[in-house]
Protein backbone atom coordinates (compact mmCIF):
# COMPACT_ATOMS: atom_id res chain seq x y z
CA UNK A 1 0.00 0.00 0.00
CA UNK A 2 1.22 3.56 -0.70
CA UNK A 3 2.65 5.40 2.30
CA UNK A 4 1.42 8.85 3.29
CA UNK A 5 3.80 11.83 3.07
CA UNK A 6 3.76 15.64 3.06
CA UNK A 7 4.45 17.86 0.07
CA UNK A 8 7.16 20.48 0.46
CA UNK A 9 7.55 21.91 -3.03
CA UNK A 10 5.48 21.75 -6.21
CA UNK A 11 6.51 22.50 -9.79
CA UNK A 12 3.92 23.22 -12.48
CA UNK A 13 4.96 22.67 -16.12
CA UNK A 14 2.92 24.24 -18.93
CA UNK A 15 3.64 24.55 -22.66
CA UNK A 16 2.53 27.66 -24.58
CA UNK A 17 1.95 27.97 -28.30
CA UNK A 18 0.46 31.24 -29.52
CA UNK A 19 -1.31 31.85 -26.21
CA UNK A 20 -0.66 35.59 -26.00
CA UNK A 21 -4.30 36.38 -25.25
CA UNK A 22 -4.61 33.93 -22.37
CA UNK A 23 -1.10 33.54 -20.94
CA UNK A 24 -1.45 36.07 -18.15
CA UNK A 25 -4.96 34.89 -17.24
CA UNK A 26 -3.63 31.35 -16.89
CA UNK A 27 -0.73 32.49 -14.71
CA UNK A 28 -3.01 34.54 -12.45
CA UNK A 29 -5.49 31.66 -12.06
CA UNK A 30 -2.64 29.30 -11.21
CA UNK A 31 -1.15 31.62 -8.60
CA UNK A 32 -4.54 32.25 -7.00
CA UNK A 33 -5.05 28.52 -6.63
CA UNK A 34 -1.64 27.78 -5.13
CA UNK A 35 -1.34 30.83 -2.90
CA UNK A 36 -1.48 30.42 0.89
CA UNK A 37 -0.84 26.69 0.77
CA UNK A 38 1.44 24.86 3.19
CA UNK A 39 3.97 24.13 0.44
CA UNK A 40 6.05 26.33 -1.86
CA UNK A 41 5.84 26.17 -5.64
CA UNK A 42 7.50 27.28 -8.84
CA UNK A 43 6.41 27.28 -12.47
CA UNK A 44 8.13 26.21 -15.68
CA UNK A 45 6.59 27.84 -18.74
CA UNK A 46 7.74 26.53 -22.14
CA UNK A 47 7.20 28.63 -25.26
CA UNK A 48 6.94 26.15 -28.13
CA UNK A 49 8.05 28.43 -30.95
CA UNK A 50 5.11 30.84 -30.76
CA UNK A 51 4.72 33.32 -33.62
CA UNK A 52 2.79 35.89 -31.57
CA UNK A 53 3.72 37.84 -28.42
CA UNK A 54 3.53 34.84 -26.07
CA UNK A 55 7.24 34.85 -25.19
CA UNK A 56 7.22 38.60 -24.52
CA UNK A 57 4.30 38.19 -22.12
CA UNK A 58 5.93 35.24 -20.38
CA UNK A 59 9.13 37.22 -19.88
CA UNK A 60 7.09 40.09 -18.45
CA UNK A 61 5.53 37.63 -15.99
CA UNK A 62 8.99 36.36 -15.03
CA UNK A 63 10.12 39.96 -14.45
CA UNK A 64 7.47 40.21 -11.74
CA UNK A 65 7.66 36.70 -10.27
CA UNK A 66 10.96 35.02 -9.42
CA UNK A 67 9.19 31.66 -9.16
CA UNK A 68 8.80 31.46 -12.97
CA UNK A 69 11.23 29.66 -15.27
CA UNK A 70 10.95 30.52 -18.97
CA UNK A 71 12.18 28.09 -21.61
CA UNK A 72 11.86 29.20 -25.23
CA UNK A 73 12.30 26.48 -27.84
CA UNK A 74 14.10 27.50 -31.01
CA UNK A 75 11.09 26.44 -33.10
CA UNK A 76 7.80 24.62 -32.75
CA UNK A 77 8.85 21.12 -31.68
CA UNK A 78 5.37 19.99 -30.67
CA UNK A 79 3.39 19.54 -27.48
CA UNK A 80 5.10 16.37 -26.25
CA UNK A 81 8.61 17.77 -26.72
CA UNK A 82 7.62 21.04 -25.03
CA UNK A 83 6.35 19.07 -22.04
CA UNK A 84 9.59 17.07 -22.05
CA UNK A 85 11.66 20.27 -21.96
CA UNK A 86 9.64 21.52 -19.00
CA UNK A 87 9.99 18.21 -17.16
CA UNK A 88 13.76 18.37 -17.68
CA UNK A 89 13.75 21.60 -15.64
CA UNK A 90 11.20 20.55 -13.00
CA UNK A 91 12.66 19.83 -9.55
CA UNK A 92 9.71 19.95 -7.19
CA UNK A 93 8.79 17.03 -4.96
CA UNK A 94 5.92 16.62 -7.41
CA UNK A 95 5.47 17.91 -10.96
CA UNK A 96 2.08 18.81 -12.41
CA UNK A 97 1.85 19.09 -16.20
CA UNK A 98 -1.12 20.94 -17.64
CA UNK A 99 -2.17 22.93 -20.68
CA UNK A 100 -2.07 26.72 -20.54
CA UNK A 101 -5.46 27.41 -22.15
CA UNK A 102 -7.42 26.97 -18.88
CA UNK A 103 -9.21 23.88 -20.16
CA UNK A 104 -7.39 22.14 -17.31
CA UNK A 105 -8.77 23.84 -14.17
CA UNK A 106 -5.95 24.79 -11.73
CA UNK A 107 -8.22 23.94 -8.78
CA UNK A 108 -7.87 20.24 -9.66
CA UNK A 109 -4.22 20.45 -8.59
CA UNK A 110 -5.27 20.63 -4.94
CA UNK A 111 -7.09 17.32 -5.21
CA UNK A 112 -4.09 15.81 -6.99
CA UNK A 113 -1.86 16.83 -4.10
CA UNK A 114 -4.20 15.16 -1.62
CA UNK A 115 -3.77 11.92 -3.55
CA UNK A 116 0.00 12.36 -3.62
CA UNK A 117 0.09 12.91 0.12
CA UNK A 118 -1.98 9.74 0.48
CA UNK A 119 0.95 7.91 -1.11
CA UNK A 120 0.41 7.83 -4.87
CA UNK A 121 3.25 8.72 -7.26
CA UNK A 122 1.06 9.35 -10.31
CA UNK A 123 -2.33 11.06 -10.34
CA UNK A 124 -4.16 11.15 -13.67
CA UNK A 125 -6.82 13.79 -14.27
CA UNK A 126 -9.50 12.19 -16.44
CA UNK A 127 -12.19 14.11 -18.32
CA UNK A 128 -15.68 13.33 -17.09
CA UNK A 129 -17.07 13.17 -20.62
CA UNK A 130 -16.38 14.13 -24.24
CA UNK A 131 -19.26 16.61 -24.41
CA UNK A 132 -17.00 19.51 -25.40
CA UNK A 133 -14.95 17.48 -27.87
CA UNK A 134 -17.36 16.87 -30.73
CA UNK A 135 -18.99 13.66 -31.97
CA UNK A 136 -16.44 12.67 -34.63
CA UNK A 137 -13.43 13.39 -32.43
CA UNK A 138 -15.03 11.55 -29.49
CA UNK A 139 -15.68 8.47 -31.64
CA UNK A 140 -12.16 8.61 -33.09
CA UNK A 141 -10.77 8.82 -29.55
CA UNK A 142 -12.84 5.84 -28.41
CA UNK A 143 -11.67 3.79 -31.39
CA UNK A 144 -8.05 4.72 -30.81
CA UNK A 145 -8.09 3.78 -27.12
CA UNK A 146 -9.78 0.49 -28.01
CA UNK A 147 -7.01 -0.28 -30.50
CA UNK A 148 -4.29 0.73 -28.06
CA UNK A 149 -5.79 -1.43 -25.32
CA UNK A 150 -5.99 -4.48 -27.57
CA UNK A 151 -2.71 -4.02 -29.44
CA UNK A 152 -0.43 -2.90 -26.62
CA UNK A 153 0.89 -4.34 -23.38
CA UNK A 154 0.83 -0.88 -21.79
CA UNK A 155 -2.40 0.29 -20.18
CA UNK A 156 -3.06 3.90 -21.15
CA UNK A 157 -5.65 5.62 -18.98
CA UNK A 158 -8.64 6.41 -21.18
CA UNK A 159 -9.63 10.06 -21.13
CA UNK A 160 -6.39 11.14 -19.44
CA UNK A 161 -4.52 13.64 -21.58
CA UNK A 162 -1.40 15.41 -20.26
CA UNK A 163 -2.99 16.82 -17.11
CA UNK A 164 -1.32 14.77 -14.38
CA UNK A 165 0.79 14.80 -11.25
CA UNK A 166 3.99 12.79 -11.00
CA UNK A 167 6.37 12.46 -8.10
CA UNK A 168 9.99 13.43 -8.55
CA UNK A 169 10.88 9.73 -8.54
CA UNK A 170 8.69 9.24 -11.62
CA UNK A 171 10.14 12.38 -13.21
CA UNK A 172 13.70 11.09 -12.77
CA UNK A 173 12.69 7.84 -14.45
CA UNK A 174 11.03 9.73 -17.29
CA UNK A 175 14.15 11.84 -17.89
CA UNK A 176 16.06 8.66 -18.69
CA UNK A 177 13.66 7.84 -21.53
CA UNK A 178 14.99 9.97 -24.41
CA UNK A 179 13.14 8.37 -27.30
CA UNK A 180 12.42 10.69 -30.20
CA UNK A 181 8.81 9.71 -30.87
CA UNK A 182 7.40 10.64 -27.50
CA UNK A 183 4.02 9.57 -26.20
CA UNK A 184 4.02 10.62 -22.55
CA UNK A 185 0.55 9.17 -21.99
CA UNK A 186 2.06 5.75 -22.61
CA UNK A 187 5.59 6.28 -21.29
CA UNK A 188 4.45 7.21 -17.78
CA UNK A 189 2.21 4.17 -17.16
CA UNK A 190 4.90 1.98 -18.75
CA UNK A 191 7.32 3.10 -16.03
CA UNK A 192 5.02 1.67 -13.35
CA UNK A 193 4.68 3.22 -9.84
CA UNK A 194 1.53 3.62 -7.76
CA UNK A 195 -1.14 5.54 -9.65
CA UNK A 196 -4.71 6.70 -9.21
CA UNK A 197 -7.27 8.74 -11.12
CA UNK A 198 -9.48 11.73 -10.41
CA UNK A 199 -12.13 13.18 -12.67
CA UNK A 200 -12.58 16.77 -13.77
CA UNK A 201 -14.86 18.73 -16.04
CA UNK A 202 -12.92 20.15 -18.95
CA UNK A 203 -13.52 23.87 -19.42
CA UNK A 204 -13.85 25.84 -22.64
CA UNK A 205 -10.80 27.64 -23.96
CA UNK A 206 -10.58 31.19 -22.66
CA UNK A 207 -9.16 32.57 -25.92
CA UNK A 208 -8.37 31.39 -29.42
CA UNK A 209 -8.74 28.00 -31.04
CA UNK A 210 -7.14 24.66 -30.09
CA UNK A 211 -3.70 24.16 -31.63
CA UNK A 212 -4.22 20.39 -31.68
CA UNK A 213 -5.52 19.84 -35.20
CA UNK A 214 -6.77 16.54 -36.58
CA UNK A 215 -3.39 16.08 -38.23
CA UNK A 216 -1.47 16.58 -34.99
CA UNK A 217 -3.87 14.32 -33.10
CA UNK A 218 -3.46 11.60 -35.71
CA UNK A 219 0.34 11.88 -35.57
CA UNK A 220 0.31 11.60 -31.77
CA UNK A 221 -2.01 8.58 -31.96
CA UNK A 222 0.27 6.97 -34.54
CA UNK A 223 3.31 7.47 -32.31
CA UNK A 224 1.45 5.97 -29.38
CA UNK A 225 0.28 2.91 -31.30
CA UNK A 226 3.55 2.04 -33.01
CA UNK A 227 5.78 2.97 -30.04
CA UNK A 228 4.06 0.60 -27.64
CA UNK A 229 3.10 -2.35 -29.80
CA UNK A 230 4.66 -4.73 -32.31
CA UNK A 231 1.37 -6.56 -32.82
CA UNK A 232 0.78 -4.85 -36.23
CA UNK A 233 3.91 -6.63 -37.44
CA UNK A 234 2.57 -9.93 -36.11
CA UNK A 235 -0.76 -9.29 -37.83
CA UNK A 236 1.08 -8.98 -41.14
CA UNK A 237 2.42 -12.52 -40.68
CA UNK A 238 -1.03 -13.90 -39.88
CA UNK A 239 -2.50 -11.96 -42.79
CA UNK A 240 0.11 -13.48 -45.08
CA UNK A 241 -0.74 -16.97 -43.84
CA UNK A 242 -4.44 -16.30 -44.36
CA UNK A 243 -3.90 -15.05 -47.91
CA UNK A 244 -1.73 -18.10 -48.68
CA UNK A 245 -4.46 -20.44 -47.49
CA UNK A 246 -7.02 -18.60 -49.61
CA UNK A 247 -4.70 -18.81 -52.61
CA UNK A 248 -4.30 -22.59 -52.14
CA UNK A 249 -8.07 -23.01 -51.92
CA UNK A 250 -8.47 -21.01 -55.11
CA UNK A 251 -5.79 -23.16 -56.76
CA UNK A 252 -7.77 -26.29 -55.92
CA UNK A 253 -10.84 -24.68 -57.45
CA UNK A 254 -8.95 -23.92 -60.67
CA UNK A 255 -7.68 -27.49 -60.87
CA UNK A 256 -11.21 -28.84 -60.42
CA UNK A 257 -12.47 -26.51 -63.15
CA UNK A 258 -9.69 -27.63 -65.48
CA UNK A 259 -10.36 -31.30 -64.75
CA UNK A 260 -14.07 -31.01 -65.54
CA UNK A 261 -13.34 -29.11 -68.75
CA UNK A 262 -15.60 -26.26 -67.71
CA UNK A 263 -15.00 -22.89 -69.28
CA UNK A 264 -14.05 -19.99 -67.11
CA UNK A 265 -16.14 -16.97 -68.03
CA UNK A 266 -14.25 -13.69 -67.78
CA UNK A 267 -11.37 -12.60 -65.61
CA UNK A 268 -13.31 -10.71 -62.91
CA UNK A 269 -12.45 -13.18 -60.17
CA UNK A 270 -8.77 -13.14 -61.13
CA UNK A 271 -8.62 -9.35 -61.10
CA UNK A 272 -10.40 -9.19 -57.74
CA UNK A 273 -7.91 -11.61 -56.21
CA UNK A 274 -4.99 -9.66 -57.67
CA UNK A 275 -6.36 -6.39 -56.28
CA UNK A 276 -6.97 -7.87 -52.83
CA UNK A 277 -3.49 -9.35 -52.65
CA UNK A 278 -1.97 -6.10 -53.94
CA UNK A 279 -3.89 -4.08 -51.36
CA UNK A 280 -2.77 -6.37 -48.54
CA UNK A 281 0.83 -6.07 -49.70
CA UNK A 282 0.69 -2.27 -49.79
CA UNK A 283 -0.91 -2.09 -46.34
CA UNK A 284 1.76 -4.46 -44.99
CA UNK A 285 4.53 -2.40 -46.53
CA UNK A 286 2.98 0.73 -45.03
CA UNK A 287 3.00 -0.78 -41.53
CA UNK A 288 6.60 -1.92 -41.93
CA UNK A 289 7.53 1.53 -43.25
CA UNK A 290 6.12 3.14 -40.08
CA UNK A 291 8.47 1.11 -37.91
CA UNK A 292 11.44 1.65 -40.22
CA UNK A 293 10.78 5.39 -40.25
CA UNK A 294 10.67 5.53 -36.45
CA UNK A 295 13.92 3.54 -36.26
CA UNK A 296 15.48 5.95 -38.76
CA UNK A 297 14.55 8.94 -36.56
CA UNK A 298 15.82 7.27 -33.40
CA UNK A 299 19.25 6.21 -34.71
CA UNK A 300 20.10 9.77 -35.73
CA UNK A 301 20.56 10.56 -32.04
CA UNK A 302 19.61 14.21 -32.47
CA UNK A 303 18.75 16.36 -29.42
CA UNK A 304 15.06 16.36 -28.59
CA UNK A 305 14.97 20.15 -28.64
CA UNK A 306 17.04 23.35 -28.73
CA UNK A 307 16.52 26.38 -26.52
CA UNK A 308 16.93 29.97 -27.66
CA UNK A 309 16.27 31.18 -24.12
CA UNK A 310 16.75 29.67 -20.68
CA UNK A 311 15.60 31.87 -17.82
CA UNK A 312 15.61 30.09 -14.49
CA UNK A 313 13.56 30.77 -11.40
CA UNK A 314 15.29 31.14 -8.04
CA UNK A 315 14.37 27.58 -7.11
CA UNK A 316 15.47 26.19 -10.45
CA UNK A 317 18.77 28.09 -10.48
CA UNK A 318 19.69 26.55 -7.13
CA UNK A 319 19.40 23.01 -8.54
CA UNK A 320 22.14 20.92 -10.03
CA UNK A 321 21.02 20.09 -13.54
CA UNK A 322 22.22 16.53 -14.28
CA UNK A 323 23.84 16.29 -17.69
CA UNK A 324 22.25 12.88 -18.36
CA UNK A 325 18.74 14.28 -18.78
CA UNK A 326 19.89 17.18 -20.97
CA UNK A 327 22.15 15.21 -23.27
CA UNK A 328 19.55 15.46 -26.01
CA UNK A 329 18.16 18.84 -25.07
CA UNK A 330 20.99 21.21 -25.94
CA UNK A 331 20.69 24.92 -25.25
CA UNK A 332 22.77 28.06 -25.38
CA UNK A 333 21.75 29.18 -21.86
CA UNK A 334 20.90 32.65 -23.08
CA UNK A 335 18.75 34.90 -20.92
**Claim to verify: residue 154 and residue 275 sit in the same structural domain:** no
How many structural domains does the chain have? Answer: 2
Residue 165 domain flag: yes
Task: Round the average pLDDT of the chain to a whole number and report it.
Answer: 78
* Better-predicted residue by pLDDT, 279 or 172: 172
**Claim to verify: residue 310 and residue 294 sit in the same structural domain:** no
Give the mean model confidence (pLDDT) for residues 306-331: 69
Beta-strand pair 40-47/9-16: parallel
Highest mean pLDDT among 60-74, 250-264, 291-305: 60-74
Residue 310 domain flag: yes
**Claim to verify: residue 151 and residue 38 sit in the same structural domain:** yes
**Claim to verify: residue 126 and residue 96 sit in the same structural domain:** yes
Residue 309 domain flag: yes
**pLDDT tens, residue by residue, 180-234:** 778 888 788 888 888 888 888 877 766 656 555 556 555 655 555 656 566 666 6
Q: Is residue 140's pLDDT more than 90? A: no
Residue 112 domain flag: yes
Residue 331 domain flag: no
CA distance 21 to 206: 9
Q: Is residue 327's pLDDT more than 50? A: no
Whole-model pTM: value is 0.72
Residue 219 domain flag: no
**Claim to verify: residue 197 and residue 247 sit in the same structural domain:** no
**Claim to verify: residue 100 and residue 242 sit in the same structural domain:** no
**Claim to verify: residue 183 and residue 278 sit in the same structural domain:** no
Query: What confidence score (pLDDT) does residue 323 get?
Result: 47
Residue 223 domain flag: no
**Claim to verify: residue 90 and residue 186 sit in the same structural domain:** yes
Give the mean model confidence (pLDDT) for residues 157-175: 85
**Claim to verify: residue 197 and residue 284 sit in the same structural domain:** no
Residue 1 domain flag: no
**Claim to verify: residue 28 and residue 176 sit in the same structural domain:** yes
**pLDDT tens, residue by residue, 105-127:** 999 999 999 999 998 999 998 88
Query: CA 15 → CA 99, 175, 239, 328, 331, distances in Å?
Result: 6, 17, 42, 19, 17
Query: What confidence score (pLDDT) does residue 307 get?
Result: 92
Q: Report yes or no: 23 and 100 within 8 Å, Cβ to Cβ.
A: yes
Q: How confident is the model at residue 141 (pLDDT cuts 50, 70, 90)?
A: low
Q: Is residue 71's pLDDT more than 80? A: yes
**Claim to verify: residue 196 and residue 245 sit in the same structural domain:** no
Query: In this structure, what CATH number is given to the domain that contains residue 54?
Result: 3.90.550.10
- Buried b or exposed e, range 102-130, using 16+ CB within 10 angstroms: bbbbbebbeebbebbeeebbbbbbbbeee
Q: Which domain holds residue 287?
A: 231-299
Looking at the chain, the number of H-run helices and the number of E-run strands are 11, 8
* Better-predicted residue by pLDDT, 131 or 193: 193
Neighbours of 237 (CB within 10 A): 10
**Claim to verify: residue 208 and residue 290 sit in the same structural domain:** no
Amino acid sequence: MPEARRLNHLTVVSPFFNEALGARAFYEALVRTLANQSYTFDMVFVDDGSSDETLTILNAIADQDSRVTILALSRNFGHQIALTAGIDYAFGDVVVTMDSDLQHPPAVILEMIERYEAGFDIVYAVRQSNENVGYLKAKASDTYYWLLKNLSNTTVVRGAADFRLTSQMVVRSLRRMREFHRYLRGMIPWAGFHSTEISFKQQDRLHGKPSYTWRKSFRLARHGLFSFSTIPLELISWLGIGMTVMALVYLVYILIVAATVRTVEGWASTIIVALVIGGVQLISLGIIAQYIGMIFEEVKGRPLYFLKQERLSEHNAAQTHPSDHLNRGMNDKST
